[in-house]
Amino acid sequence: MIITVTLNAALDLTYTVPSLTPHATHRVTEVAERPGGKGVNVARVLAALGHAVTVTGFAGGATGRTLRDHLTHTPGVTDALCAVAGATRRTLAVVDARTGDTTQLNEPGPTVTPDEWAGFLDAYDALVRGEGVAAVALCGSLPPGVPVGAYALLVRAARAAGVPVLLDTSGEPLRRGVAARPDVVKPNAEELAELTGAHEPSRATRDARRRGAHAVVASLGAEGLLAVTPEGTWRAAPPGAVRGNPTGAGDSAVAGLLSGLVEGLSWPDRLARAVALSAATVSAPTAGEYDPRVYADTLPKVTLTPA
């Protein structure tokens, strides 16, 4: 079993309009609703790959109930979210059908009380010490009220239980989390530069690893992934430009890395899977999902080079 942690879960709404124009009234041609937040997105892809996944974090209010109802209808995913008094946030993606561009609006999330945070810590500790836990993914932003060092605490708890842990966050939570020595960190180029102060990807990725992470996999957008690991350093790139909606592509890459870890794949094979899943997510008709046909076609074409 794999555990994904989404402290700031969301109900994702995607509106498609013929053309998005500022200051204008728009007629929505398509609406999609799904459970979201980075760790929930990762869980959904892992389940589609055949892995049993338990989702934890926070959920509350009417939005939280809707999110949890969606999770009960997601095969392979177990809901272990902790209830909070505040309402789970919503994220709104507006897709311009003419250009394919997406405009994203993200609510901040519920304010978590100290008692609610303490209750989550107890539940999380019980989960990571449970039988058959193969890995943990800690993903996304922190809702108001959660300590900035939360991920560092959760990394240490997973390591104490002997469970590999992947961290995907940003800002100060990333800086503190890296110092707790997670097995894998997956920042994008902007997050990596903010963490290290270096804008050259190779230098920044190596610097991030020196700060405590066992391995660092940097997402470089259309250029693919750059990984610095104990076994070597690689670049992995898709076979060509991919058109579509990039929402959730990074989460699919995390699912590829995590599934490869628990299956014992080599680092090059993990990276190829992550890039192929990311490309398939960009190409999918629904934001945040992945197209299995594109994945199967892209996987053998991913370019891997030592870096």
Here the tokens at position 184 are: 């894998």
Residue 305, SS3? strand
Contacts of residue 70, defined as CB under 8 A and 6 or more positions apart, other chains included, come to 11, 33, 34, 35
Question: Cα–Cα–Cα angle for 252, 188, 200, nearest 5°?
Answer: 140
Question: Cα–Cα–Cα angle for 206, 270, 39, nearest 5°?
Answer: 85
Measuring CA to CA, which residue among 260, 219, 256, 255 is closest to residue 237?
A: 219
Of 79, 168, 251, 291, the active-site residue reads 251
Measuring CA to CA, which residue among 144, 19, 197 is closest to residue 94?
A: 19
| Cα-based torsion angle of the residue sequence 210, 211, 212, 216 in order, rounded to the nearest 10 degrees | -70
Tell me whether residue 96 is one of the annotated catalytic residues. no
CA distances from 94 to 38, 88, 115 (A): 18, 20, 36
Q: Chain-centre distance of CA 197, in angstroms?
A: 23
Q: Name the H helices within the chain.
A: 38-48, 61-72, 114-128, 150-160, 171-179, 189-196, 201-210, 249-262, 267-283, 292-298
Active-site residue list: 251
